[in-house]
Structure 1
Amino acid sequence: MLFVDPATLLAQHQSHPALPHSRHKTVVIAHRGNHVNAPENTLASTREAISCGADYVEVDLRTSKDGHLIAMHDGKVDRTTNGTGKVADLTWQELESLQVFNRNKRTHRIPQFRDILALCKGKINIYLDFKEADVAEAWKEIKAAGMEHQIVVYLNKEEQYKKWKEAAPDMPLMTSLPKEVTNKAQLDAFLGHMHIQVLDNMTDPELLKAAHEHGVSVWLDVQSPDEGPASWNEALHKGVQGLQTDKPAEMVTYLKAHVQ
């Protein structure tokens, strides 16, 4: 379980980060951008997420060998590009030269974080899946872009929590519930140590109720091969506040017609 020292605990409870404004009551998150229509984690898939009216675009963040922040889900470039090797072992010049695989003839490239920030400013929020990146540099680029109030950071590792709290105390944070947290008392204890604004993939009614009592939102991943209205409706009936989807355009249309 994640744990922070008393000094950090005191500091974090003196601030109450607010989630970015969303246009929909149920938050719609475009998984890796609208990547069904364009390659994942590219400027093109981000534009698609913006144009379909999603509230957030999910962006996976990593750092190159020479310190450039780039959007890439995998630790290696092999699956999504015509290159090979670990992101952390490649320079930006090497990464920039790669072509991102695509079903059509258009050429796409790996984007830098700063370019995604510039594209999203004032148009869509960012669900920043913080894979392996430098917190200080990420926060520097977020501030330079004026995007401080349009981002939620998803934490993947224990040490990321303290680093983000020290660098940006007002940044809204999100994480998965540890497997060992299975009842209300354990969740209360967890949230007593972790000042989190969003939890993901939590469906137990008791835990959902407890999270809401703490003012913590719950967002579910609903992307799957058979994703559609039936799975969305099932998730919504659990009482969650957001859905991450591979079909953001269809979900926006569905929510407008049936929910809000």
Structure 2
Amino acid sequence: MVDTTKSFSISAWVKLDNKDRNHTFLSQAGEHASGFQLYYSKDLDRWVFNRHATDTDNTTIVRTLSKDSAQADVWTHLTGSYDAEKQALSLFVNGQLQQTTAFTTPWRANGGFQIGRVHYRGGWQENMAGVVDDVRLVQSAATPADAQALANGQLPAQLQELATFTLDEKSGSARVSGGKGAGSVATLAGDGAQLGVEGKFGTALHLNGTSGYAATAGPVVDTTKSFSVSAWVKLDNKDRNHTFLSQAGDRASGFQLYYSKDLDKWVFNRHASDTDTTAIIRSTSVDAAQAGVWTELTGVYDDTAKTIQLFVNGKAQTPAAFTTPWQARSALQIGRLLYKGAWQEHFAGTIDNIKISDRSSPATCPRSYVVGHRGAPKLAPENTIASLQAAIDRGADWIETDVQFTKDGQPVIMHDATVDRMTNGKGRIDQLSAEEISKLTVNGGGHVPALEEVLTLLKGRSTRLLLEIKGTQTPASVDHALRLVSEAGLTQRTMAQSFDEDVVRYAAASRYKTKIALLRDNLDADPVATARKFSLSAYAVNFKGLSVSPAAVEQLQSAGIEVFVWTVDRDSDWQAATTWGVDGIITNRADELIQWRNTLCTTE
């Protein structure tokens, strides 16, 4: 049974005997109505996930529907999800998002979980005729990647954690969720804790180093047993110690993940006792820490081996023996440390994607972003709204799209310099007006979008935009495109890229600042020097070009430059790219890369 006042997801494989009436697969009863219902609707001929607005006989019903008609006698995987933070219902069919609908009146259904019937107007109704299998309930909202994992018979990686703080809440939120619905919630404190800033994934939490922090109401992890803690962090400076995560005792802390100024290293430590005179056991990074660079840190305590160990960007550092575990019974702290009975070492910087686990090994999920090249061109015509939407719905971290400029200077979304290949028209884009292009039909359906349409599509979503500015352009044209991005409020989630070095210079010089990437077919002799010359945030190189010297990935990342590789469509090349540690994989098969990545999200 799930707590229907909080985030939850339910899923099952179903096969209908017929479509002669409504058939309920899963529900959870209240006194008069049901907290949710996953079912087939005869009137709509659709799969449906609904919630009753109140536990009364006259309740209204809020529904989210499948896009296509339901089929009888065919195994179909259905996932219904309620996101308490976003106040929204979502339905997934065979792992694909169908529809999301607002739902603002959650109530607790205490009448029991039901397989095959629904409680409505005080009676049992709509019994299922058919077969149901692999029923799953989780106290967390599902993402498209989670729904796909459930459809593949896997438990989504983040649902295996004790807590996962994505830190994607809106600016001004007073609390952040640990991702478990009924699980951990951390409350922000001080005036120096700011949500909504640019993160490693989506948005993140910035702390000012003096008053800002976040803390749960109580302990999250049992520090007497095996556990791991991880986060992506970016230091503002290295002027002192900075604590990212800790869990407090009475006088000391059960663990600390932090930066040490004296050592100039990343550190995972444990205090040997909950006293002011405690010894401190440390596992430290081999290399010096860097400020201003996103770094993934993981600290692991292995109760069987009696060791602690730090991992930096997935790479194991030297372990240290630790033989005196004790239970830190106070709260998990984000951004400060309890030591000698006082709060110390506040973090100045940004933190994202915190995970707390009761396992003694870090997760082995590939760390690379999935970037949908021109959206999802295997599912809909490239660069159309349908293609971009398909990539977003299937969980792509980024969508990549191309900008050309019309005769009247308007940015439109098209890879080619002409409309010949993709539409029912002829001619160069720079010789056609925006109005003329808007009247064309794309082969396979749809129209040529204006840049504004793509920006509107991304508003309110966490998906990022990789905006390739095609061809030779003027500073005014580049400035125009970046101004539209800025006016849409998407500067922090957009990166402009180009093969043309002048375009890259114009973007870097624009008053509408965004991240910049340079596209290359082959590696430069010194890619780090090139990145610095053009003030790059990322270096985007062809897969074959990068394969000549994969060591360039670490060199660039050590200089604070992300590495994107294009266009990678073979499974074996995905494996190679993730092994090299690239930050982003640009692919025409975003949906399949996401599924491939999910299969690797296991633990040792």
Q: Aligned to 2:564, which of 214, 219, 224?
A: 219
Residues in 2 aligned to 1:142 and 1:173: alpha-carbon distance in whole angstroms: 13
Q: What amino acid sits opposite 1:257 in the alignment?
A: T
Residues in 1 aligned to 2:564 and 2:533: alpha-carbon distance in whole angstroms: 20
Q: Aligned to 1:206, which of 531, 539, 551?
A: 551
The equivalent of 2:498 in structure 1 is 155
Report the CA distance between 1:223 and its aligned residue. 3.4
Q: Aligned to 1:113, which of 451, 473, 476?
A: 451
Report which of the two has the higher share of helix. 1
Report the CA distance between 1:101 and its aligned residue. 0.4
The equivalent of 1:28 in structure 2 is 370
Residues in 1 aligned to 2:580 and 2:586: alpha-carbon distance in whole angstroms: 15
Q: What amino acid sits opposite 1:74 in the alignment?
A: D
Residues in 2 aligned to 1:194 and 1:48: alpha-carbon distance in whole angstroms: 33
Q: Does 1:242 align with 2:581?
A: no
How many residue pairs match? The answer is 233
The equivalent of 2:507 in structure 1 is 164
Rate the CA distance shift 1:180–1:222 in 2: closer, same or farther, 3 A: closer
Rate the CA distance shift 1:178–1:29 in 2: closer, same or farther, 3 A: closer
* SS of structure 2 residue aligned to 1:195: coil
Does the Cα contact within 8 Å between 1:222 and 1:232 map onto a contact in 2? no
The equivalent of 1:12 in structure 2 is none
Q: Does 1:87 align with 2:440?
A: no
Report the CA distance between 1:211 and its aligned residue. 0.8
Between 164-173 and 209-218, report the one with greater CA deviation: 164-173
Residues in 1 aligned to 2:485 and 2:499: alpha-carbon distance in whole angstroms: 19
Q: Aligned to 1:98, which of 431, 440, 451?
A: 440
The equivalent of 1:251 in structure 2 is 593
The equivalent of 2:527 in structure 1 is 187
* SS of structure 2 residue aligned to 1:175: strand
Rate the CA distance shift 1:222–1:157 in 2: closer, same or farther, 3 A: closer
Residues in 1 aligned to 2:497 and 2:587: alpha-carbon distance in whole angstroms: 16
Q: What amino acid sits opposite 2:369 in the alignment?
A: V
Rate the CA distance shift 1:97–1:25 in 2: closer, same or farther, 3 A: same
Q: Does 1:125 align with 2:467?
A: no
Deviations 1:89-114 (CA, angstroms, capped at 9, x unpaired)? 00112111111001xxxx31101000
Identical amino acids, percent of aligned pairs: 25
- Structure 1 unaligned runs (5+)? 1-17
* SS of structure 1 residue aligned to 2:508: helix
- Structure 2 unaligned runs (5+)? 1-197, 203-352, 354-365
Report the CA distance between 1:176 and its aligned residue. 2.8
* SS of structure 2 residue aligned to 1:54: coil
Does the Cα contact within 8 Å between 2:516 and 2:538 map onto a contact in 1? yes
Write out aligned runs for 1:52-63 (5 A). Answer: 52-63=394-405
The equivalent of 2:220 in structure 1 is none
Rate the CA distance shift 1:238–1:20 in 2: closer, same or farther, 3 A: closer
Residues in 1 aligned to 2:443 and 2:485: alpha-carbon distance in whole angstroms: 28
Report the CA distance between 1:62 and its aligned residue. 0.8
Q: What amino acid sits opposite 1:189 in the alignment?
A: A
Normalised by the length of structure 2, the TM-score is 0.37
Q: What amino acid sits opposite 2:497 in the alignment?
A: Y
Report the CA distance between 1:169 and its aligned residue. 6.5
The equivalent of 1:5 in structure 2 is none
The equivalent of 1:42 in structure 2 is 384
* SS of structure 1 residue aligned to 2:503: helix
Between 188-197 and 235-244, report the one with greater CA deviation: 188-197
* SS of structure 2 residue aligned to 1:137: helix
Does the Cα contact within 8 Å between 2:483 and 2:512 map onto a contact in 1? no
Rate the CA distance shift 1:187–1:37 in 2: closer, same or farther, 3 A: closer
Residues in 1 aligned to 2:423 and 2:495: alpha-carbon distance in whole angstroms: 27
Does the Cα contact within 8 Å between 1:220 and 1:242 map onto a contact in 2? yes
Report the CA distance between 1:179 and its aligned residue. 4.9
Deviations 1:132-156 (CA, angstroms, capped at 9, x unpaired)? 4511211221122111111111122
The equivalent of 2:518 in structure 1 is 175
Q: Does 1:76 align with 2:418?
A: yes
Q: Aligned to 1:66, which of 408, 419, 428?
A: 408
Residues in 2 aligned to 1:127 and 1:191: alpha-carbon distance in whole angstroms: 17
Report the CA distance between 1:188 and its aligned residue. 3.8
The equivalent of 1:3 in structure 2 is none
Residues in 2 aligned to 1:188 and 1:219: alpha-carbon distance in whole angstroms: 14
Rate the CA distance shift 1:86–1:218 in 2: closer, same or farther, 3 A: same
Residues in 2 aligned to 1:58 and 1:19: alpha-carbon distance in whole angstroms: 19
Residues in 1 aligned to 2:392 and 2:521: alpha-carbon distance in whole angstroms: 32
Report the CA distance between 1:194 and its aligned residue. 2.0
Report the CA distance between 1:259 and its aligned residue. 4.2
Normalised by the length of structure 1, the TM-score is 0.82
RMSD of the TM alignment (CA)? 2.2
Q: Which has the larger radius of gyration?
A: 2
Rate the CA distance shift 1:199–1:180 in 2: closer, same or farther, 3 A: closer
Report the CA distance between 1:220 and its aligned residue. 1.2
Deviations 1:22-57 (CA, angstroms, capped at 9, x unpaired)? 588311100101111111111111110110000111
